[in-house]
Amino acid sequence: MKVIEANKLPGLAAALAGAGYRVVAPIRDGGEVRMVVWSPGAAIDTRAIPVNSAKDFLFPKAEIIGRCTLDGNDFRPEDVKPVAPKTVILAARPCDASAMLLLDAVFNWDYKDEFFNARRAATTIVSLVCTTADEQCFCTSVGGAPDATAGADGVLRQADGGRSFILEPLTEKGKAVAAAAGAALAEGQAKADAPVEVPVHFDAKAVTEWLGENFESPLWREVSLACLSCGACAYACPTCHCFDLQDEATRAESVRLRNWDTCGLALFTAHAGGHNPRPDQAARWRQRVMHKFSYLVERLGRLGCTGCGRCARLCPAGMAICETCREIDEARKAAVK
């Protein structure tokens, strides 16, 4: 098996960078760990759960997808190609890796999104078996697991009590990364550490069923009272994929932007005539839960939540989708009795 000492992970990143990969990894900067592009000297931290998700590198927060040059009255559309460097995402959490399968389905559902697909094709995901979790983690409630490998091209397993890692390629892309790592990985033996245990908080199937019958439930108003209407949850979410198209121009050129957008904001559904079909935060929070646990299941056969818990960790108002699902599960059980 391919083994690397824990303190030599930067050496692996350096080897892959040397082989032409853009290397994304969980990097500690001050008090926070984020998924960012690795540069020499950066400290890789596999213990903390990164603040942002790996989604950022497949579906960036703002992207130019069209451009026109303007010269007097002359208007020339230009062909904008996706920016898709060869990338390896190292030590992505299993909840981030499995989110890729949902993004694949969404961005190829009725329209093949060339920008997403180009980056996806150029990206190799090496996930990390979780040996740490916190109270916001709930992957096991939504079909995931701390050692799941769905969506991953390779997997890093912490071994020998944290002294080393085993890298196991799972796909051709994963094998290519292992080969590119060269001498940074050694042939050897190591004993994989046990994955962390993540308790199950609710029955996702039962939540989906309840949602189908409770669009008008009074629960929505109750559970959404604290929601302040911002995008902190959606922009941290590994599966949230809504975007807005905006044209912005100067005298010389006009660009078409694809920006992240979120159902949490009133403007998301505001009509030009003044009507808003989602008039309050209860309707917006319901949409968030419905989309993830009902509509996507119906359309794509997949939950829109991988249980990473980032939304709850970052919410300025202490909202937690896991908590809402737990309350729904309880309301359902109470109704059955």
Partner 1 sequence: MEMIDALRADAAKVLADGRAKVVIGYQARGDHRAPLFVTTADRAASLVYDDACKQNLAVYLRKPEVKLLGKAAVVASPAAMRSLVLLMSESQLTGDDALVLAVGVGEYHGVLELAQVAPLLKEKYAALAPSPELLREIEKLAAKTPEERAAFWAKQFAKCTRCYACRAACPGCYCTRCIVEKNVPQWISTAAAGHGNYAWNVIRAFHLAGRCTGCGACEAACPQGIPLMLLNVLLGQEVEKEFETKAGYDPEAKPVIGSWNPEDEEDFIK
Binding-site ranges for partner 1 (CB under 8 A): 30-32, 51, 61-62, 135, 221, 224-226, 228-232, 234-236, 244, 246, 248, 257, 259-260, 262, 265, 267, 280-282, 312, 314, 316-320, 323
Whole-angstrom Cα distance, residue 140 to residue 305?
Answer: 11
Smallest distance from partner 1 to CB 255, Å: 8
Whole-angstrom Cα distance, residue 87 to residue 94?
Answer: 18
Smallest distance from partner 1 to CB 59, Å: 12
CB 220 within 8 A of CB 285: yes
CB 145 within 8 A of CB 94: yes
Between 32 and 71, CB nearer to partner 1: 32
Smallest distance from partner 1 to CB 123, Å: 20
Whole-angstrom Cα distance, residue 179 to residue 171?
Answer: 12
Between 37 and 105, CB nearer to partner 1: 37
Between 85 and 162, CB nearer to partner 1: 85
Whole-angstrom Cα distance, residue 257 to residue 244?
Answer: 8
Whole-angstrom Cα distance, residue 245 to residue 86?
Answer: 26
Smallest distance from partner 1 to CB 35, Å: 12
Between 64 and 194, CB nearer to partner 1: 64
Between 30 and 301, CB nearer to partner 1: 30
Query: Tokens 């646990």 map to which residue?
Result: 293
Query: Tokens 């439930």 map to which residue?
Result: 217
CB-based contacts of 145: which residues, under 8 Å, 6+ apart? 94, 139, 195, 198
Smallest distance from partner 1 to CB 226, Å: 4
Whole-angstrom Cα distance, residue 325 to residue 334?
Answer: 14
Smallest distance from partner 1 to CB 1, Å: 38
Between 19 and 257, CB nearer to partner 1: 257
Between 114 and 244, CB nearer to partner 1: 244
Smallest distance from partner 1 to CB 162, Å: 24
Helix axes 321-336, 281-290, angle to 10 degrees: 80
Smallest distance from partner 1 to CB 205, Å: 25
CA angle 215–219–223, rounded 5-degree value:
120
Between 213 and 248, CB nearer to partner 1: 248
Smallest distance from partner 1 to CB 232, Å: 4
Burial profile 199-213: b = 16 or more Cβ within 10 angstroms, e = fewer: eebbbbeebbebbee
Between 153 and 329, CB nearer to partner 1: 329
Whole-angstrom Cα distance, residue 55 to residue 63?
Answer: 14
CB 324 within 8 A of CB 289: yes
**Longest CA pairwise span in the chain (Å):** 73
